[in-house]
Structure 1
């Protein structure tokens, strides 16, 4: 069994690795961290640790602020869907990881996400359909967040179908991930989940989450430096294969 010392050391390594991935490809911190943390701690506790590293790294990704307002107008319905889906799902299912099938659902979400990243078709959503499809996608993403703590499926696939330039796509992902993190945090506080080793108090949980900022930001910094030296496409393929293996392991 994992004692608290080993769990803390393992969590530091996980967030450093997840930050590195985010620095290289612009996403993956919540996905990688939840996938690896779920191996040795309950999903709700993992989601609690994820809150501040995810929020801060995604706020960094929101730059430049000048382009944020037009993007928010375009994706506003999607953000509303994310919030409603997350809070509604947590109210319905009793919080992250509460259902017996939550671990399997997380594994399936990772498998679907990895397969999409490896061989998914390149779609283009017409502008006239983006509002309602964005709201629907937000609801589905929020429901997946409430169940598993992971908020990339199907949000990233939808954002990639909007035909955004790479800087705008990175900013759009930062916006959606920030909304998901805030909604997840509100839900966890509301239900008293994931705030400490057994969810017994918010102060200890927030402090632990804040400490995970250090390896996450350090990993993100090194990842940004590394991104100039390696192929982002090749690295993303390696990441997707790794997530496919992790997802299969969690399903099994």
Structure 2
């Protein structure tokens, strides 16, 4: 524990676990948002590099559960259907992950907070992009590149994918599943990439491991709540929480 407390105080660790529970809860209810909540919450009192390291293992574990909830065969079907997004996204994720230690803190926070806030504002305002022709490989590649670029630096690559899946009217169960597959593959790549970048090391991996239990507990509760309470209301609450988180990151980027 001495290593952990050299990174974060006991009070900070308790707060980090509470944030992980909240992130897991919302992840269980709507299928995404864990990295955004973790990076926003943790970076409010920790350096961005430690906050990013902290979200890696909880994200890896919860996405594996989400991707495989309907079984490996269904997950493989989703991989084949969205292979362009996955391939391009992973390539950009690996490339951009090496910029974490190069970019200044304000730039990094702005690159995370801006897309999150914009996505939430569009959704809360009721705008739902629609592609009458369905899936478009060119657009899928473009969305994958944007999502991967942001994901490599911040661990957050959900909003572009969610917007694209909504635009092509993806069936609800498959939309949740492909999110788990995409985020899971991205989490595996992110783990390897940040071992190379030095963000995930012998010290920070212990902090990330400590957040596993609260994140999984939160996700278990979220799945139970999802089965019992109207999802639309929780989705609205989630968007408002994410909007506040994104605006807070922008505030920190602009004001320090």
SS in 1 for 2:110: helix
The Cα shift of 1:100 comes to 3.4
Q: Is the 2:110–2:250 Cα contact (8 Å) retained in structure 1?
A: yes
TM-score (norm 2): 0.87
Give the alignment of 1:39-78 within 5 angstroms.
Answer: 39-63=44-68, 64=70, 65-78=72-85
Q: Does 1:142 align with 2:148?
A: yes
Q: CA RMSD in A?
A: 2.0
Give the alignment of 1:165-204 within 5 angstroms.
Answer: 165-193=171-199, 195=200, 202-204=201-203
The separation in 2 between residues aligned to 1:98 and 1:210, in whole angstroms, is: 27
The Cα shift of 1:96 comes to 8.1
SS in 2 for 1:101: helix
Q: Does 1:108 align with 2:114?
A: yes
The Cα shift of 1:45 comes to 1.2
For residue 131 of structure 1, what is the aligned residue in structure 2?
137
The Cα shift of 1:164 comes to 2.0
The separation in 2 between residues aligned to 1:68 and 1:138, in whole angstroms, is: 18
For residue 198 of structure 1, what is the aligned residue in structure 2?
none
The separation in 1 between residues aligned to 2:62 and 2:140, in whole angstroms, is: 23
SS in 1 for 2:136: helix
The Cα shift of 1:225 comes to 1.3
For residue 238 of structure 1, what is the aligned residue in structure 2?
237
Runs of 5+ unmatched residues, structure 1: 196-201
For residue 3 of structure 2, what is the aligned residue in structure 1?
none
Q: Does 1:86 align with 2:93?
A: yes
The Cα shift of 1:147 comes to 3.2
The separation in 2 between residues aligned to 1:47 and 1:6, in whole angstroms, is: 19
TM-score (norm 1): 0.88
For residue 25 of structure 1, what is the aligned residue in structure 2?
30
